[in-house]
Structure 1
Amino acid sequence: MELSARIPAAGAGYAFAYHLLGEVFAVCGAALITLEYGISASAVAANWGEKFRTLLTSAGAIQLAAKSIVQLGPLTLSFPALAVLVAVTGMVYLGGDLGKRFARGSSALAVILILLMTIIASTSFEASNFQPFVPREFGIGGVMAGCVTTFFGFLGFDEVCCMAGEALQPEKTVPRALIGTLLCATILPVAASLALVGFTPYNLINPSSGFAVAFHERGWIALSYVVQLGQLVVLFVVTYMCFLAQPRVFYALARDGLLPQKFAELNDANEPWFATLMTGFLVIICGTFLPFDTLANAISGGVCVNFNLVNCCVVMIHGGQDGDNPSRRLGASLASFNLFSLVESLLLRQLLHGEQSSALWTIAAAVALALLVSFVVIWCSVRQEAGENTVGTEAFFRVPCLPLLPCCAMLFNNVMISSMKGLDFLLLASYLAIVVCPYLLFAWRCSQHRMSIRCEEISFSSSRANAT
């Protein structure tokens, strides 16, 4: 909320990192935002295709459901996912009020559907289904692994920040929109999950269509179909909303010289038309061929990393001006804090899984001490700058409990990242390498050339002014 009010620009986390952390971190942030919006739109569309096939099967159209997918070697072509992504691309490309009206109406329908499912399931609530509250086969490790998967449901709440550049009064409207979005994204799914577990024992819940299958098994056939149709509408809206922010990210990259200027061109509806088409091409390829289950946890982990960058930006904006020694020291401390917290989380995960050894405990204690030292350095840097009142007295929203709150957020994000499986780690690391390496080889030189030209122009203008 504070960063989007202070830096109301397209790109959200990318724009924050570009101004406060540097261009390399900004490129990483843009890659992670693309994972959060562009690739997640593909993943949601793939899930839409799976639910559509389930609906066809339950309605008796088994052959039609089988023909909706085609196996191409190791890849699977999903025609329902393809249709959804083509429709979403067309809606965003046309722009105007059509997409806005559709988003408002469909979002209201989604809220009504969740409330309806929650209320109906609560009529057959059995408290005994919550005994024990955390089953033994899961434990703390299972809870944290569930956090990573559930975190996918929060994707897109920070899309408000991506659209902050188009807000009339971002210092007022963006914080309110973020608070409302977070409350809805938290309260409604939690209430629905409680109602579903009270309605059906956890070990009998279908992982892909919990309410629909539970209602069908109770004999509520018509209600089951209504829920399945509602889920298709909700997932279509989610796909649209995830897609909506991605062209703005490409637009911001092109504006800063990190992508061809073609991505920054606007059409008559003030939409980045080429960036929209390229986003559509990207999500159609990913959503049509890649399975949803393969992408979900890797996307969640990437969003956690992106949020860590945003938390670092919050601390940096309160910890000194760019280029001075306190800022460099603070940046190194933030990097150390993230590294040590991730390593500590991985060590504690091994200890909780029963791998007890004195050497492992010693390493964990040493890393915890290093983590504490890095936090103390961050605390001293931010408190010193706060005492000198370098941030200013602008009427922006201010993050409370600095730097404790951002550091706790980074620590918890790293705990969730450490709960990912090895394959998810590999997918996320490979994705970042594929995106960042070309920048280091090619785009960095172009950007440096652009900056040198800009500096020469400024110097030439200053010389002419002095001569005059």
Structure 2
Amino acid sequence: MTASKYFSAALRRKHPSPHARLPLSPASTEKTLKLHDLVLFGIGGALGSGLFLLTGRAARDLAGPAVTMSFAVAAMACLFSALSYAEMSSRLPNSGGAYSFSYAGLGELPAFLVGMCLTLEYGVSAAAIARSWASYLADAVPFLPSWATGVDSQFSFLAFLLVAALSVVLAMGMREAKWVINISTILYALIVFIIIGFGSFNVDPSNWNPFLPFGFKGVIAASSAIFFSYVGFDEIATMSEEAIDAARTVPLAIILSMLAVTGMYIASSLILTGLVNYSQLNIDAPFSVAFRSVGLPLVARIVAIGTALGMTNTAAVSLAAQPRIFLSMGRDGLLPRTFARSTRTSTLLCGAIVSLLAAVVETQELADVVSGGTLLAFLATNVTLLLTRTRIHSQTSKVPTVIYSFVVASALCGLFNKLAASKALPSWIFMVVAIPACLVPALMLLFSEFEGGEDVERSPPAFLCPLVPLVPLFGTFTTCFLLFQLSQKALTALCSWLIVSSAAYFMYGAHNALLANEYLILHESPGDGSYNSFDDLAMEANSIASETPSDEILASPQETVEDP
């Protein structure tokens, strides 16, 4: 493969069509998830991880009582991306989530990298949650040995056991697993209401003074750190192929779960910093230790046990989402075909990897890297929505260039802000250079022919993001800005992960992608477009290639491989 062919392969885009992908097996495509299932799935995926894993550290070391503002800022940044996710999920209701969105909008290599970022978001976050779950269990059951909980040890057997057990349950199928997730989410929500209810009668308002001990810089830094808290709403998109009326229910579930989680985060964090002075917060188990310090040991024990239950649920949601990303990548040919054959195989394989990771890696070493991967996935979704709307409505080819310029300018804005905060650059550079660099392309985009084209969408999706391009522009800016507020160690680890992922793509994905076979993509398959296996799909491609004249293939409107 020459360099030019590699470049073309990296940027070829997958036109969305049911014939362009290998569907799930009939057993796993049974549509069993209703709107309430999806909402509980999103709440369960987000609520435990951020509230009990990161709130203590963010309040004590970064923002103080103003951590409530940090949750609001992170929620606003997520809301912009959530609206973009909602529209793209309505346009492409399949199990790939942001990976599938990126494949249709950005290209093959960006999609592969987004898929690997989602692996950080789902698989690695499940390991982080399992590790924290073991720590909370140690607080609830003090006689457990350290080698089991990992509190004073590098190894955590309980974290390993949790991931392994959940993987086995999820491998049985979503019809059975959804009941486990729904019940545990409801029970966990009751624990949160107990925190808010009992805590509201025991807060000391003096603990909120000073409210901004680290200034607004601390609020922004904490917002980036707790962005991991909102991981969950995007996991709903991976359940699209198993959702009833996915084009309508998935976007609605994303918005509803996002609003519910935000309210509970803000209220709970306000109670936490009111119970105990922020400087005295326990990082590993902030809520249970705080209740014990105000003379409520029974509530503290209930909170500790309930937290372990909630984290079990959060880990289960992440472990449910991860195999579906690999399955989508596998049936597109970007990962080995084993992942495309069965969700059960993919679930067990992912579970084995994540369980080993949970056993030996410390939680905080994972959290910031996970946040970085999440931010990149959100960034890709916002940009994809902008490009999708541009290709539908705009009559000028200059708009995509302006969009990419805005992404670069937003990244520079975040970088300059971080350098100015660390005194590496004077603060005036941030005001004079970075902010105008973002505003100019944004204004160009707003005054472009974004909505003025004559090409009207024939079949609009069930959900359309409001205020486009403002919402995805804000989503793009906030994700880029927050990305550069992460630690240098986390950014270095994230860059290393992307480099390794790129190498894997060029060594395997570029050669084995289904889009590499033009005949398969350009021609509509006969019948209902379903195949029993990956091999049947390849045989169909070869049959089309040998029987169909080239001029007929090129004239087919069904699918197009869009090279740069």
TM over 0.5: same fold? yes
Q: 1:220 to 1:305 in 2, by over 3 A?
A: same
The Cα shift of 1:24 comes to 0.9
Please, which of 386, 404, 413 is the counterpart of residue 315 of structure 1? Answer: 386
**Paired AA for residue 68 in structure 1:** A
Query: What SS class does the counterpart of residue 318 from structure 1 fall into?
Result: helix
- 1:163 is the counterpart of 2:239: yes
Q: Return closer, same or farther for 1:70/1:320 CA change in 2, 3 Å cut-off.
A: closer
Retained in 1: the 8 A contact 2:275–2:291?
Answer: no
Distance 1:218 1:363, change over 3 A: closer
Q: 1:372-391 to 2 correspondence within 5 Å?
A: 372-381=439-448, 383-391=449-457
Q: Where does residue 117 of structure 2 map in the other structure?
A: 32
SS of the equivalent of 1:312 reads helix
> Following TM superposition, by how much is the alpha carbon of 1:341 offset from its aligned partner in structure 2, in angstroms?
1.0
Residues 176, 281 of structure 1: alpha-carbon distance in 2 compared, 3 angstrom cutoff: same
Alignment partner of 2:326 out of 228, 234, 250:
250
* Structure 1 residues 418 and 442: CA distance shift in structure 2, 3 A: same
Q: TM-score, normalised by structure 2?
A: 0.74
What TM-score, normalized by structure 1, do the two folds share? 0.89
Q: How far apart are 1:462 and its partner, in Å? A: 4.0
The reply to whether residue 113 of structure 1 matches residue 199 of structure 2 is no
Partner of 1:463: 549
Between stretches 386-395 and 304-313, larger displacement belongs to: 386-395
Closer/same/farther in 2, CA of residues 429 and 96 from structure 1, 3 Å limit: closer
Q: Which whole-Å CA distance do the structure 2 matches of 1:141 and 1:378 have between them?
A: 30
SS at match of 1:388: coil
Q: What CA deviation, in whole Å up to 9, does each residue of 1:188-245 have, x standing for no partner?
A: 1111111122222212221221221012122322221111111110110000011001
| 1:421 maps onto 2:487 in alignment | yes
Structure 2 contact 134–149 (Cα < 8 Å) conserved: no
1:392 Cα deviation from its structure 2 partner = 3.5
For structure 1, which segment, 120-129 or 311-320, has the greater mean C-alpha deviation from structure 2 after superposition?
120-129
Instruction: State the Cα distance separating 1:162 from its structure 2 match.
Output: 1.1
- Mean Cα deviation higher: 124-133 or 409-418: 124-133
Q: For the structure 1 residues 333 and 171, does the alpha-carbon distance in structure 2 shift closer, same or farther, using more than 3 Å as the test?
A: same
Percent identity over paired residues? 27
Q: 2-side partners of 1:210 and 1:69: how far apart? A: 17
* Corresponding residue of 2:405: 336
Tell me by how many angstroms 1:9 deviates. 1.1
Amino acid at match of 1:49: A
Relative to structure 1, the CA distance from residue 11 to residue 2 in structure 2 (aligned partners, 3 Å threshold; closer, same or farther) is same
Task: Kindly tell me the number of residue pairs found equivalent between the two proteins.
Answer: 448
Q: Which amino acid aligns with 2:300?
A: S
**Residue type of the alignment partner of 2:109:** V
Deviation at 1:340, TM superposition (A): 1.5
Pick closer, same or farther for the CA change 1:282–1:182 going to 2, 3 Å: same
Pair 1:47 & 2:47 matched: no
- Compute the displacement of 1:125 (Å): 2.4
Q: Which structure 2 residues correspond to residues 173-322 of structure 1 after superposition, within 5 A?
A: 173-266=249-342, 272-320=343-391
> Which segment is superposed worse, 330-339 or 239-248?
330-339
The corresponding residue for 1:97 is: 175
Residues 1:131 and 2:198 aligned together: no
Taking only aligned residues, the RMSD between alpha carbons, in angstroms, comes to: 2.7
SS at match of 2:126: helix
Moved more, 235-244 or 253-262: 253-262
| Deviation (angstroms), 1:68 | 1.8
Match of 1:18 in 2: 103
Change (3 A) 1:251 1:444: same
Letter in 1 for 2:101: F
Unaligned residue ranges in structure 1 (runs of 5+) = 267-271
Spell out, residue by residue over 1:308-363, the C-alpha distance to the aligned partner (whole angstroms, 9 max, x if none).
100011111100169x9945x44433332222212112212333455564xx7357
Alpha-carbon spacing, 1:188–1:432, altered in 2? closer, same or farther (3 Å): same
Q: Which runs of 5+ in 2 are unaligned?
A: 1-85, 523-540, 553-564
Deviation at 1:69, TM superposition (A): 5.8
Decide whether the 8 Å contact of 1:320 with 1:390 is kept in 2. no
Verify the 8 A CA contact 2:90 2:461 in the aligned structure 1: no
2:155 match: secondary structure = strand
Q: Which deviates more, 372-381 or 166-175?
A: 372-381
Q: 1:340-399, CA deviations, whole angstroms, 9 ceiling, x for partnerless residues?
A: 212112212333455564xx7357634433323322343345x34543243335252111
